[in-house]
Structures are given as structure tokens and as C-alpha cells.
Chain A
């Protein structure tokens, strides 16, 4: 209703990799490195075929999860912090990262009430124990801890995800609108900015809090060059 062109994209949704990742997760053939690299390939495919073209044409790109999800999951799995940041060094820095923060107890309740805990969401591949619930709590607790660290490192905007959906939505809009109005590229996170391989574009993404938190996230991005504000949205 604001008249922005919008493209949405999400983790593991690339044409190239979606099937591969799904089938890899069924077997027990994933090691920590190829786990990271599969997701990096998926991300690269979407970055080059969806995100950058959309940004170039002045779209707002809403991304459900971004590179930070990979950082958290891989560090928790024992990968080197620097290595995983290097691998994703080709990514562009979002204009805004909203971190929907939740505590692990509320998260567990929410997941059980919705579709239930799964093998991967519980980090069962890490073999921290045979019990799904205990493993979920441990694993997601570690993920949240890592996200909290990154919130400082990369300057995430933290939104309390324990509140009702309408309130979260309001909080998100309050953060997004000013950035859309600025209408200029803005980089977030000094450390990340140094690394961004592609200086041309700036993009934007939303990270969901822990692995599971609230779904509603949306976000926006702006454009490298002159951004036309509020241009009518072509079908995306």
C-alpha cells in the first residue's frame, strides 16, 4: 500500500540448490563444511539471480534469513568463526537487519504448539543427546547466544519476538520506514562493511531470531544508485 516494488526471498529457496539441500538433509552425509557450503551456494545463487537484479531495479528486497543464520549455525557446529565469514565474503551488507529475539523457553512452547520439533531444528546432528526436547533447548540456546553476539558485531535492530504479532509488525514498520525514506544506500555494521566484496549494491534482510522464532518478519532494502522512492510496484 506504500507503493514499493518488493521482492521476497528466503533461505534455501534457490532454483539451483533447493532440492539438493532437501535431499542432503534426509541422509546422514552432511559434514560441517559441506553443510555450510551448500547453504553458501544456495545463497550465492539467489544473490546473483534474484537479490542483486531486484536491487538494481530499485526494489525493496525482503529476505527471510540472511548470512547471519549461516554464521550462527556453523559456529555452533564447531566451524571456525572467521572461515564462515570469509566464505560469505561476497555477500552485500543489508540496509537493515531485524533480529526477532526470543528466549528459548518461549520458543520451545511456540514450536511445539505449531508444527513440532524436527531433527534439524533440534540440532540432533550434533549428537548432544538422544532426547529431542533437551537437544532442542540446548541447540537453540546456543544459536540464540550466537545471535546475541552478532547483534553487537553487526548492529542488528532487536525486536522482542515474544510480543503478539501485531505489535511485532508495528515495531518492524517503525524501523523499516525511516530507511525507505532515506532512499539511499546505507551500510550497517562496520566489520561487515570492510568485507563486503560487492560495493555496488546495498541490500537488506531480515533475520529471524533463533532458528525458529516468529515468522512474520519482513524487511526492506534500498538501492545503490539513486533510488526512486515509492515507485509503483511491478509484479515481482
Chain B
């Protein structure tokens, strides 16, 4: 048999784009921070691609149905999420990275590593399952105590806990709030191990939103220091676009050189 090669997700990817991901338990505020980051980057003139955990057309419906009828086991739960991830990696993440753009991902493979481990799925198996993934240029982990995330979820717009989010499938407690506390505490423990294993960047998610965002922007700026944005559209440079067709060929070639 072939000797197991090093998983691609342990070495930096070779593409000109940048991949930035956020991780954290439900109610950690990671999605809020990511959407603020996205707006800020766009205001800086960057083209942003955004992708979200469990959102591919391919399996979204199946996962929804499986969750509703509660037929998902830890194994099929894990495999369905890996399928979703694979599909988005191939169609949504890799093309912009190869084209030199910035991709923001709300949750990445670390979510699977944490949740599946809590559901009793083998650590090493899940890592091998995701071995085709690319390593993010930057991975934030929004660390928050259970009580804080719970109060955010219950007082927030949703105001209720979901079955799988509370780990009800594990039969930890018949009370959904109790179950959430036990399940998410275990997820937190797993995340702590993952932070060390993969070198995630920890943000204290109990801070005010703007304080966190400030830290996030500072770190992102460093990651983007060496980054050269590429544009597919010249919509903001009409003049240049026009000149390419009006100047004689010799001058046109100069114009081409100017832009580099």
C-alpha cells in the first residue's frame, strides 16, 4: 500500500488567494464577526467570496430531512457534512483561491473535528476523511463560555435551541437546555485541543463586538500584507478599458506595460 502522505491540510496551500475561516460554538458570535469583516474588506476594495457550513445544494435537503426524521447516526451525520464540505471546497472555495481572491468561510473542517469527536467518531478517521481539504491562511476561534452562548441564543433572534445543536441525539438529557450545556461543553473541550493541534487564532468572544472586530481586522491585515488582489472586472477603470481599443497598437502595448 502507498505510504500515507501528509494531509494537504497540514501544509500551506499553493494558491494566490487567501482563505480565512471562523470557528466557535453556536452563540459565540463568530458569524457576526465574519460579516463585519466581510463588509470592512469589501469597503477596502477587495472581492470577497463567502461560504457557509452545511449549505451546498447537493446535500442541504438531505441533511434537513435526516435531521427532521432523526435518522442520522454519528457516522452518517459526519459523512453528510463531509460531503457538503467537499462539494463546497470544489465549487466555491478552490476556484476563487486559484484565481487569487479572498474566501471567507463560516465554519471549516475543525467544526467536524470537534462535533464528531463528541459524538464518538474516531479522531483519526475524521482527519483522514478531510485530508483533501486545504489549510486556511487564517483560522479564528471565538472562545466563549457556555453560559454566554446560551444566553445569546435564548435572548437573540432565534430564541430556541435546535435538536442537533443541543446534541439531543446523544441522549445526554431530556431537557434541551441541559443537553445543550453538556454537549457544547464537550465541544468546547474538543475545540481547545484543536486550537493547539492546528494553531487556530483565539479571540476572546466575551469582549464587546467592536473590540473583537478590531483585533480581527488587525490580524487579517497582517495576513493580507503580502497579498496582491486580482480583479476580474475593470468596471472601475473605464478610461483604461476604453484606451485599449482606441490607441494604436504600439501605444497600446505601452499601456499594457503601465499596468504592471
Contact = CB atoms under 8 A, between A and B. Distances in A.
B66 A82 contact: no
Interface string A40-61: 1100110011000000000000
12 contacts: A24-B58, A29-B57, A33-B90, A34-B56, A34-B58, A34-B90, A45-B73, A80-B5, A83-B131, A86-B131, A87-B128, A197-B122
Interface stretch (A12-20, A105-113, A122-130, A135-143): A12-20
Interface string B42-77: 000000000000001111011001100001110110
A16 B1 contact: no
Main secondary structure of the interface of B (DSSP, over half): helix
Given A20-B59, A31-B91, A33-B89, A82 B76 contact: no
Nearest to A48: B73
Nearest to A82: B2
Nearest to A41: B79
Interface stretch (B80-88, B103-111, B141-149, B163-171): B80-88
B40 interface: no
A31 B2 contact: no
A105 B87 CA distance: 35
Interface of A: 15-17, 19-20, 24, 29-34, 37-38, 40-41, 44-45, 48-49, 80-83, 86-87, 89-90, 191, 197
B4 interface: yes
B71 to A, nearest CB: 6
Interface of B: 1-2, 4-5, 56-59, 61-62, 65-66, 71-73, 75-76, 79-80, 82-84, 86-87, 89-91, 122, 125, 128-129, 131-132
Nearest to A35: B86
Given A20-B59, A34-B58, A86 B125 contact: yes
In the A-B complex, the 9 residue pairs with the smallest Cβ-Cβ separation, listed nearest first, are A33-B86, A31-B90, A37-B83, A86-B128, A41-B79, A34-B87, A34-B86, A20-B62, A44-B75
B74 to A, nearest CB: 10
Nearest to B71: A16
Contact of B86 (A31, A80, A86): A31
Interface centre among B66, B79, B125, B129 (most CB of A within 10 A): B79
Interface centre among A16, A32, A45, A191 (most CB of B within 10 A): A16
Main secondary structure of the interface of A (DSSP, over half): helix
A114 B44 CA distance: 61
Given A24-B58, A33-B86, 5 more contacts: A16-B76, A30-B58, A40-B83, A48-B73, A82-B2
Contacts of B89: 33
B164 to A, nearest CB: 15
Contacts of B5: 80, 82
Contacts of B83: 34, 37-38, 40-41
Nearest to B90: A31
Contacts of A29: 57-58, 87, 91
Contacts of A44: 73, 75-76, 79
Contact of B62 (A16, A49, A83, A191): A16
A83 B9 CA distance: 14
A20 B5 CA distance: 32
Contacts of B87: 29, 31, 33-34
A104 B73 CA distance: 39
A87 B132 CA distance: 11
Contacts of A86: 125, 128-129, 131
B79 A37 contact: yes
Contacts of B71: 15-16, 45, 49
A48 to B, nearest CB: 5
B126 to A, nearest CB: 10
A37 B79 CA distance: 7
A163 to B, nearest CB: 33
A16 B66 contact: yes
A37 B86 contact: yes
B149 to A, nearest CB: 29
Given A16-B71, A20-B61, A29-B57, A83 B128 contact: yes
Nearest to A21: B62
Interface centre among A32, A44, A80 (most CB of B within 10 A): A44
A45 B1 contact: no
